[in-house]
Every structure is written in structure tokens, then in C-alpha cells.
């Protein structure tokens, strides 16, 4: 694809930040920095009709162009809005998206805009993503899509879906870099004061709650384990503490927590490590010992696999102190 013209389809209520980032990346004239301006179009169902904004009472956004102006653009952006039932999206918008993709345009959804692509049938058989808090609902509603809640964005045959909020910047800069080169993407990123390319995925931002026990028979045991994470625990030792056979314990544990003892324990150790990285200046070696990993190497391996970044990177982003080791 070439990347000269960009259209944004807006539906109310418009998520202001996500819409604004599309304007910032593609709608700002940067001719003075040697970047040719994009033909940037904001398109709605009714040109000139003000649209309400999400979580931002007191002002509206008015698209000056209709859906016809989407035709022929190289990139079509679907702005974020509140998810609706599939039949709640205007059929004209769904048809325009299908036609634009068939005509060779790249389609980019920002955050919950991915639900509109799903309703248009454009995610069938494709890998895609959305904000992590919407991922389960999206997979349920579009079972033929392969929803990956861990990543910042996915590009699958000119269908680009991005995760929550700032991930739209990552996806937009990715498209600029892919079509116009690293120098252009870096120039835009520098003006926006953001990295031209982030590492990791959105799992580093996902809350990992302590799983609620579905019955009372293991509640006391789980509480005790959380208070003794630094001890060595095995399925056999936990079964003995619960006064059950290993087979009965494994079956009961899976039924009440939805996980194996090893997986549950690892998850809780990672959760505890995240808290210590955010709130303390303990070196990684001490954190590994405190949460029950037998070495910092094991902590780093599990942490990167679960969270998507290293402990040191996580602390730089979310901690209140610098990593001391």
C-alpha cells in the first residue's frame, strides 16, 4: 500500500484520546520537517452533525465529511467508541469497511473500534487484538477470530487492530514506518515525545487478581500459601496440608481455582513480584527469594513469559524507585 490519504470513521460516543492520536499522527502538517502532509479526512454518517464524546461532557466533535469520502483512501481508521451489539452498528459503516478492504485499503481499529471490524466480518479467521478488558467479550462475540490480549497491535493482511489507548500510537507509527520508512516514523514520534517502537505487550498493564475460590474447602490453604510464598511448595506438600490424597487434591484445586497448583502458585508469585517492583527498592535477587523463586534467573524467565517485559523494564515503567540490581 501507499500511504498518502487517511480517513477516520467516527461514531458516537467518540473516545477522545484515541481520536486525538489519529489526528496527531496523520492530521498534523509536518511539511516544515520534510514530511509530506497526509490527505486527512474525518468522516461520519451525517456530515456537519455534532457527535457526543465518551467520558468528556461539555464538547462535541463534528465530522465535516460523509462516508463517501472514505472511498479511495489508503488507510481507513475506525475510531474507538463504546462496544455495541453487532446489529447496533450502522450497516452503511460495515459495508463501507468491507468495500474499502476489498478495494485494497488498510483498515486500522483503535481500541474498542475492533468490535466494529468484527461486526463487519473482517476479523473472521484472523488474529487480532483489542483492549485487554474487552478481550474475553470480543472472543465470545466473534468466535472465529483469534483474539490475542497480550500484544499491542496485530497486522493480519491489511487488518490492523490495536489494544487500549496508547497502543493506537504504536500501531499508527508501525504503519508509518512500514510504508514511509523509519526516518519518518521517528520524526513523528519525536514530535509526540513517544518511543517510535515499544517493546513488550499489553499484558504488562493487565491486573492479575487473586483468583476467588469457588468453595470454602481450600480457602484457608490458599490464604496460608499467600502468606508463605517464600516456602517451597509442591502438589504433594499442599495435598498433605489439606489432608487429601494427591489425586483428590488436584481435582478439587482445579475445580475451585481453575488452575493447577503449580500454575496458580506461579501466578501469585509473579503478582507479588510486581507489587515489590512497583513499591520497593529491593534488588531482583531479594525479590526472587521473597516470593519463592529459587533464583533471579527463574524469576526473570517467568516474569517475562507472563508480563511480557523483564523485571527491570517493568520497574522503570511502574516503580517509584530505580532498580538497584
DSSP E strands, the chain: 5-9, 14-15, 39-43, 53-54, 75-78, 106-109, 127-128, 146-147, 153-156, 159-162
Residue with cell 514530535: 191
Identify the residue whose cell numbers are 531479594. 286
Give the residue extent of every domain in the chain. Answer: 5-205, 219-318
Other CB atoms closer than 10 Å to residue 142's CB: what's the count? 22
- Domain 5-205 shares a fold with domain 219-318: no
| Count of H-run helices and E-run strands, the chain | 13, 10
Among candidates 32, 36, 34, which has minimal Cα distance to 6? 36
Residue range 5-205 in CATH 3.40.50.880: yes
Instruction: Say how many Å lie between the first and final Cα of the chain, rounded.
Output: 46
- Peptide linkage before 13 cis (omega within 30 of 0): yes
pTM of the model: 0.66
DSSP per-residue codes, 2-64:
--SEEEEE--SSEEHHHHHHHIIIIIS--GGGT-PPPEEEEE-SSTT--B-EET-TT--B---
Closest to 79 measured CA to CA, from 215, 213, 171:
171
CATH 3.40.50.300 is right for the domain spanning 219-318:
no
pLDDT per residue of the chain (325 residues) written in tens, 0 to 9: 689 999 999 999 999 999 999 999 999 999 999 999 999 999 999 999 999 998 767 789 999 999 999 999 999 999 999 888 878 899 999 999 999 999 999 999 999 999 999 999 999 999 999 998 899 999 999 999 999 988 888 999 899 999 987 889 989 988 998 899 878 888 898 888 776 666 555 554 545 544 444 445 676 888 888 889 999 999 999 999 999 999 999 988 888 777 889 988 998 898 889 888 878 889 999 999 999 998 999 999 999 888 888 999 888 877 765 443 3
Quick check: helix, strand or coil at residue 256? helix
Which three three-digit cell numbers place residue 305?
Answer: 513469559
CA distances from 252 to 212, 256, 261, 269, 292 (A): 14, 6, 10, 21, 24
Angle, to 10 degrees, between the axis of helix 261-279 and the axis of helix 284-291?
Answer: 140
Amino acid at each position: 500500500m501507499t500511504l498518502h490519504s487517511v480517513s477516520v470513521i467516527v461514531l458516537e460516543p467518540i473516545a477522545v484520546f484515541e481520536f486525538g492520536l489519529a489526528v496527531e499522527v496523520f492530521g498534523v502538517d509536518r511539511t516544515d520537517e520534510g514530511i509530506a502532509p497526509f490527505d486527512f479526512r474525518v468522516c461520519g454518517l451525517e456530515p456537519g452533525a455534532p457527535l457526543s464524546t465518551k467520558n468528556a461532557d461539555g464538547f462535541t466533535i463534528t465530522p465535516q465529511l460523509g462516508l463517501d469520502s472514505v472511498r479511495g483512501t489508503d488507510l481507513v481508521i475506525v475510531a474507538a467508541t463504546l462496544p455495541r451489539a453487532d446489529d447496533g452498528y450502522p450497516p452503511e459503516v460495515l459495508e463501507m469497511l468491507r468495500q474499502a478492504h476489498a478495494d485494497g485499503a488498510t483498515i486500522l481499529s483503535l481500541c474498542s473500534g475492533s468490535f466494529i471490524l468484527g461486526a463487519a466480518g473482517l476479523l473472521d479467521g484472523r488474529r487480532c487484538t483489542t483492549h485487554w478488558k474487552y478481550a474475553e467479550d470480543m472472543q465470545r462475540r466473534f468466535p472465529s477470530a483469534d483474539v490475542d490480549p497480550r500484544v499491542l497491535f496485530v497486522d493480519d493482511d491489511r487488518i490492523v487492530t490495536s489494544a487500549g489507548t496508547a497502543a493506537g500510537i504504536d500501531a499508527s507509527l508501525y504503519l508509518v514506518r512500514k510504508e514511509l520508512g523509519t526516518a519518518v516514523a521517528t520524526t513523528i514520534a519525536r514530535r509526540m515525545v513517544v518511543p517510535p517502537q515499544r517493546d513488550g505487550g499489553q499484558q504488562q498493564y493487565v491486573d492479575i487478581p487473586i483468583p476467588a475460590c469457588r468453595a470454602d474447602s481450600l480457602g484457608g490453604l490458599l490464604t496460608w500459601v499467600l502468606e508463605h510464598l517464600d516456602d517451597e511448595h509442591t502438589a504433594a506438600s499442599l495435598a498433605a496440608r489439606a489432608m487429601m490424597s494427591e489425586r483428590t487434591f488436584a481435582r478439587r484445586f482445579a475445580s475451585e481455582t481453575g488452575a493447577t497448583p503449580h500454575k496458580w502458585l506461579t501466578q501469585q508469585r509473579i503478582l507479588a513480584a510486581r507489587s515489590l517492583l512497583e513499591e520497593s527498592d529491593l534488588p531482583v535477587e531479594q525479590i526472587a527469594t521473597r516470593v519463592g523463586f529459587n533464583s533471579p534467573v527463574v524469576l526473570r524467565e517467568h516474569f517475562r513469559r507472563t508480563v511480557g517485559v523483564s523485571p527491570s523494564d517493568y520497574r522503570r515503567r511502574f516503580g517509584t524507585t530505580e532498580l538497584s540490581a
